[in-house]
Amino acid sequence: MSRILIIARHEFIKFVTRRGFLFTLIGVPVWIALAAIVPAKLSSAEKERQVVFSVIDRNGAFAPVIEQAVIRRNAQQPGRFVLREAPPAVLHTSPERFASYARNYLSTEKGGSALDAIVVIPKDFDAAHPAQFWSGHSEAALEDFVQTALTNALRLRAMKRLGDANASAVLDVEAHVQPRNPSAGLPSAIKGVASVSVAVGMAILLLIVAIMNSMALLQGVIEEKSTRMIEVLLSCATPWEIVTGKIFGVIGVALFTVVLWVGSAAILGSVFAGSMAASMIHGALAALSDPVLTGLVMLYFLCGLLIYGAIFLIIGSMSASLADAQAYLGPSMMIIMLPNLFIAAILSAPNGALATAASYFPVYTPYIMLMRVGSHPPAIELMTTALLSVSVAAFLVWKAGQTFARHALTTEKPPRLGSWFSGAKRS
C-alpha cells in the first residue's frame, strides 16, 4: 500500500472513530428532518388551535353577523372560534383607557379566562371609521375571519339597499377550487424536481461534510505539530504524500457519510413506501441514475471537498495552536459562507445573471454549480466551470503541500498573502 493510502486510511479511521462523527452522522439528518417537520407541525397545530374572542359592537348591527359567521365556521371545524361576552369593565370603559383595560384581558397570565382578541366595532363603522382588532399576539386567522365576516355584512347591507330581500342567502354560497398540475405524477416531472433536489442537496451536504471534516483535519494538523508527530511523519513520507493522504482521508470520510445518509434514506423510502417522503426519495434515487447528472454532481462535490480541505489544511499548517488558527478561521468561514447570502436568488433563477457570475468565483464554483446543475445550465458553462473547479482544486492542493512543507515544522510568523501566492519565503 502506498504511503498516501496508508495516511488516508489512518485519517479515515481517526475521523470515523471520533464520538463527534457518530453524533454528526445521526444528528445532521435528524436536525434536517426536524427543521422540515417541526414548522409544518406547528403550522398545522396553529390551524387547529381554539381561538377565544369578544365583540364590542357599539353600532349594534354587526355582532349578530359575526356570531352567525362563527356558527357557520364551527360547522366545518367545531370549536375553532369561541365567541364570549365582552367583560363589563372593557365594555364600559372610555376609548382613552381601553388599551390598559384590554391589556389585562388579553394577557396570557390570566389563563383560561384570557381572551385571544377583542373586536371593537365603532358606532359609525365605515371606511373612515374602521373596526379595531385588539390582540396581544398575532391572530392572523381570526383577523381574516372577522374582516371577511364584516365585509360580507357590509356587502349584504349594500345588496339589500339595492332591493334584494333574500340577499343573506348568498352567505351560504361557496365556490370550491381544487388545485391541479398537468404534470403531477408523471415520471418526467418527478425526475425534473428530483434532479434539482439531488444537486441542491449535494451542495448542502458538501458544505456540511466539508466544513465538519476539514475542521477535524485542521485540528489534527495542529495536534501533530504540537506533539511533534509531524516530525515522525515527515521522517516517513514527503510533505506531498502527507497532504494528499490527509485530503484523501477527508474525502473518504465525506463520501462515507454521504453514502450512509443516502443509503439510510433509501431504506427509509422502502420501509415507508407509498408516503410522500418515499416518493421523493425514490425520485431522488431515480435522478442519480442519470450518468451525466451524477458525474457532474460527483465532480463538483469532489472538487469542493478538495478546495475546502486544502484551505483548512493550509490554515492548520500555518498555525501553531488552535488560538492561532481562530485568527484565520473567522475570515475564511465568512468567505466560504458568503454564497449562502444569495442562495434564494440563485435558486429562484438558477440560470440568471447572478447565478452565472457567482459560478465563476473560483472558491465558490463547485458549491454554486451543485445548486445549478439540476436546472440544466448551458453546456459551455458546465464545461468551463468543471475545468475551473478542477484547476482551482489542483492549485490549492499543490499550495497546501507547499505551505505544509514550509510551515509544518516552524512556529515562525505566517507569510503575507502576496508572498504566500508567489511562494516566496519570509525572511
Closest approach, Cβ 349 to another protein, in A, equals 48
Residue number, 170 or 236, with CB nearest to another protein = 236
Report the alpha-carbon distance of residue 211 to residue 168 in Å, rounded.
Answer: 64
Whether the CB-CB separation of 253 and 15 falls below 8 Å is answered with yes
Cα 280 versus chain centre, distance: 18
Residue number, 87 or 401, with CB nearest to another protein = 401
Closest approach, Cβ 223 to another protein, in A, equals 8
Residue 22 in the binding site for another protein (CB under 8 A) = no
- Count of chain residues binding another protein (CB under 8 A): 24
Q: How many CA atoms lie within 13 A of 84 on its CB side?
A: 17
Report the alpha-carbon distance of residue 366 to residue 251 in Å, rounded.
Answer: 15
Residue number, 92 or 426, with CB nearest to another protein = 426
Whether the CB-CB separation of 409 and 230 falls below 8 Å is answered with yes
Could you tell me which stretch among 87-95, 229-237, 372-380, 383-391 binds another protein (CB under 8 A)?
A: 229-237
Residue number, 1 or 40, with CB nearest to another protein = 1
Q: Binding residue for another protein (CB under 8 A) from 14, 58, 73, 376?
A: 14
Closest approach, Cβ 6 to another protein, in A, equals 5
Closest approach, Cβ 402 to another protein, in A, equals 14
Report the alpha-carbon distance of residue 337 to residue 357 in Å, rounded.
Answer: 17
All three cell numbers of 145: 375571519
Closest approach, Cβ 17 to another protein, in A, equals 8
C-alpha distances in Å from residue 103, one per residue of 54, 83, 86, 109, 177: 14, 18, 13, 11, 40
User: Nearest Cα to 368, choosing from 340, 391, 335?
Assistant: 340
Residue 409 in the binding site for another protein (CB under 8 A) = yes
Closest approach, Cβ 215 to another protein, in A, equals 17
Q: Binding residue for another protein (CB under 8 A) from 229, 298, 335, 345?
A: 229
Residue 222 in the binding site for another protein (CB under 8 A) = no
Binding mask 89-108 for another protein (x = CB under 8 A): --------------------
- Where do we find the cell 421523493? 280
> What is the CB neighbour count within 10 angstroms for residue 97?
11
Residue 234 in the binding site for another protein (CB under 8 A) = yes
Residue 227 in the binding site for another protein (CB under 8 A) = yes
Beta bridge partners of 329: none
Beta bridge partners of 51: 81
Report the alpha-carbon distance of residue 133 to residue 199 in Å, rounded.
Answer: 46
Residue 251 in the binding site for another protein (CB under 8 A) = no
Closest approach, Cβ 218 to another protein, in A, equals 16
Whether the CB-CB separation of 301 and 371 falls below 8 Å is answered with no
Residue 238 in the binding site for another protein (CB under 8 A) = yes
Residue 313 in the binding site for another protein (CB under 8 A) = no
**Using alpha carbons only, what angle is made at residue 48 by residues 46 and 50, rounded to the nearest 5 degrees?**
95
Q: Which spans of this chain sit near another protein (rule: CB under 8 A)?
A: 1, 3, 6-7, 10, 14, 17, 223, 227-229, 231-238, 409, 412, 425-427
